[in-house]
Amino acid sequence: MYVDGNDGMNDGSCTHRNESPPLDTKSRSLVLQNYFITNPNATQACADNSSPLIKMMTTCHEAAGAAEAVDAANGRLTCGCDSLSLCKYNATFGSKTSSRRRVYTKSE
C-alpha cells in the first residue's frame, strides 16, 4: 500500500507505491527513498528528508552497502567529506561537523 504525504511515513509500516515492489524485497540492490509532506515547503525539505526519513530506513530491512555508497558520494559532492552526515550547514567546502552523525531537525 502506498500513502501520500504525512500519512505515508509511519513507524513500523513498510509502505510502497502500488507500481513498485515491496520495500522489503531482497531482489534489488538499491532503494531510492524520499518523502514529500502533505503541504510541501521548499525551505523545510532538508529537515523533512533528514531525521524522520533516516529513522524509516531500517523499517523494512537494515541499510548497508548501496545506502552507504550513496551517502559517501553525496558527502563528497556536497562538502568534500566521506559522509553527508559530516557536512556542516552553510559551511565552506571541506568543513565538517565534529560529530559522526549530524541530523538536521525542523527547528534548524
Q: Determine whether 16 is exposed, middle or buried from the number of CB atoms within 10 Å of its CB (0-12, 13-18, 19+).
A: middle
Check whether 98 has a pLDDT greater than 60.
no
Q: How confident is the model at residue 13 (pLDDT cuts 50, 70, 90)?
A: confident
Provide the pLDDT for residue 55. 67
Domain ranges of the chain: 5-86
Sign of CA dihedral 44, 73, 79, 52: positive
Pick left, alpha or beta for residue 103 (phi over 0 → left; psi -120 to 50 → alpha; otherwise beta).
beta
Statement: the pTM of the whole predicted model exceeds 0.85: no
What is the grid cell recorded at 39?
A: 503541504
Q: Which has more pLDDT, 70 or 96? A: 70
Provide the pLDDT for residue 39. 75
Q: Indicate the SS3 state at residue 8.
A: helix
Decide if 24 contacts 60 (C-beta within 8 A): yes
Q: What is the C-alpha separation between 69 and 7, in angstroms, rounded?
A: 29
Q: What is the C-alpha separation between 55 and 3, in angstroms, rounded?
A: 18
Q: Indicate the SS3 state at residue 96.
A: strand
Provide the pLDDT for residue 35. 64
